[in-house]
Chains A and B, each alone.
Chain A
């Protein structure tokens, strides 16, 4: 079953300026693990943002579960992110003043889930990423690997069907990276479709079921189906 159908995506910044994406079409099946490979500036992060509904294409369509993100209102996009997508960033993007569990529970705040329930769910998620004892620590008291684990727990808190990872191990040493990738693999096995931006072909080869190479805002070689 196809989860995402993206057709002829363009993303241009300013009139007649550079196109970050220039006519990308891609399908993502449910439960698939796609690696987006390419140099910086190749458009892979832009594509990821479009898939996650953080940004809108200037042309083209992205249909997720039959609905086109390109035509959604800002509110509908928010609800899409809230219900369908989980983000994992290279720089973790945790709220520094909030303890780990509250960072994990953040998506649930906007869903209107009561505090006690949020806390229970967040601590459970932290337990799953091996941080069960550190729920009350702030990000500044944690190592990079631990922070990324908190971020993974947060991304999984709303049980997304689409997990979007932007260089998730880019700031981590190789040992820690392996642990993080193991967690991401777990999430994938649990049923989420995964799109991971990376410039490490090795990482793509080991984990992804399919690799898409990008260059200059286009897909550089034919899509190979795993």
Chain B
């Protein structure tokens, strides 16, 4: 191996000026240290975010809400403003049109409702495993003399084990359409069941749920066609219509649609609160965090649809599960294109990760300045070294060193400065991560509601290699010019050099 001799000569040269070369090394060391820490932090945060949500089916689920339709474009370019006018005015009018459309969207009704028919249609889209309605409703609730005017209920997909695992008394649902209910421990606590074991008393009792009667304006009670008609009326006509409407509705018996629905169920179990560490599907279970009463999904759906207004408006939300996480963003986009509002953890995660990556890359660039400065230090050290060793280079050449070999000696010398600096930087960064993690976890736990015990710094293998490699590479690049200068030294002059 020819290179070993060159490396040996380089090492010998380095050890001659230990102090100076150590100082030069510290430039690389600081650069690699900072870079390793920053990239590890980026990796760690990204990993922490991902692992917090990647459990269970988080990445396979897409939340679906009825949309306002795609015909209402907000893209000014798609809005035609006819007429012969000054372009500035056309532009202003285009803006005005967009602004008015946005307002109408907020005030208007959903153009795309989610009902059993649309669910059946959307289920035929590619990559979709299932679509279920999400049923979160408030009911008047009566249980064993306790009365709750507006209890939030949630329809549980009975197949999901997550809820079964949280039952602390009684049992889980016997089936998807069973006339059974599970109550949350917090509701029982509010009802005064303070002693442990009290809650077993409610098991087997009957709970009565009743639709809450909402006061709707006559306009809201009107059939959709009539509402559509009213939208296009002039101000005066509309006022007249509003006085007429209650009489009209009475005449056609429309108000009878708002009859309350009532059902009775048997309480089979008590559910404990969701705790950190429990599997949690952000989109699906996010709907249930405030619920006090749980029904099997089919049962909840039947009760929901017993109210005519619900049949007409459709489900407020639905849960789409895709066959594989990689399709979630695609399905999300398809649903949006169809005029729905869709949200997936997978795509949110992508955004968070790309933001983290951007931050990491930009801070890394700043840190890179340390490396650039260290490069200048290396150039300086190497030029000094070449000048000091001019005569030696002459000797090397006299005994048969080629220009390439002379160059190699100096490149190796610099590479070693870079490698040592890089390894020191990596080692110290790895050490600094230990207190860094402790501190970060402590800070996060002080500020955040959720207990957090993930590492904030993650040092992957590639970074362990890339850090020192970058230091070495930088040092080699810095040494190219000085090494070439060494290689071009005229041996005759060098041998006369003092």
Contact = CB atoms under 8 A, between A and B. Distances in A.
B409 to A, nearest CB: 10
A106 B8 contact: no
B492 A54 contact: yes
Interface stretch (A30-38, A91-99, A126-134, A184-192): A91-99
Contact of A110 (B1, B401, B492): B401
A59 B486 CA distance: 27
Contact of B400 (A49, A83, A94, A115): A83
A78 interface: yes
Contacts of B402: 74-75, 78-79, 110
Nearest to B498: A91
A149 interface: no
B393 to A, nearest CB: 10
B403 A109 contact: no
Given A54-B491, A109-B8, A109-B9, A95 B392 contact: yes
A74 B394 contact: no
A157 B496 CA distance: 23
Given A109-B8, A115-B8, A95 B395 contact: yes
Interface string A95-112: 101100000001101111
A75 B490 CA distance: 13
Contacts of B91: none
A200 B382 CA distance: 42
Contact of A93 (B2, B8, B395, B401): B395
B89 interface: no
A110 B403 CA distance: 11
A117 B8 CA distance: 15
Contacts of B399: 81-82, 87, 106-107, 110, 154, 158
Interface in A105-149: 106-107, 109-115
Interface string B376-397: 0000000000000001101111
Nearest to A52: B398
Contact of B404 (A75, A89, A93, A112): A75
Nearest to B495: A93
Nearest to B6: A109
A54 B397 contact: yes
A93 B403 contact: no
A110 B396 contact: yes
A17 B403 CA distance: 28
B12 interface: yes
Query: For chain B, which range describes its interface: under 10, 10 to 19, 20 to 34, or 35 or more residues?
Result: 20 to 34
A193 to B, nearest CB: 18
A55 interface: yes
A162 B170 CA distance: 104
B280 to A, nearest CB: 63
Contacts of A110: 5, 396, 399-402, 405
Interface string B395-423: 11111111111000000000000000000
Nearest to B15: A97
B12 A97 contact: yes
B2 A112 contact: yes
A158 B404 CA distance: 20
Nearest to A86: B399
Query: Most B CB atoms within 10 A — which of A75, A95, A154?
Result: A95
A98 B12 contact: yes
Contacts of A93: 391, 394-395, 398, 495
A154 B6 CA distance: 18
Contacts of A82: 399-401
A81 B398 contact: yes
A89 B4 contact: no
Contact of A79 (B396, B398, B400, B495): B400
Given A54-B397, A78-B403, A89 B492 contact: no
B395 A109 contact: no
16 contacts: A54-B398, A74-B402, A74-B403, A79-B400, A81-B397, A81-B399, A93-B394, A95-B392, A97-B12, A97-B16, A109-B9, A110-B5, A110-B396, A112-B5, A113-B5, A154-B399
Across the A-B interface, the 7 shortest Cβ-Cβ residue pairs: A82-B400, A112-B2, A109-B5, A107-B399, A78-B402, A110-B401, A81-B400
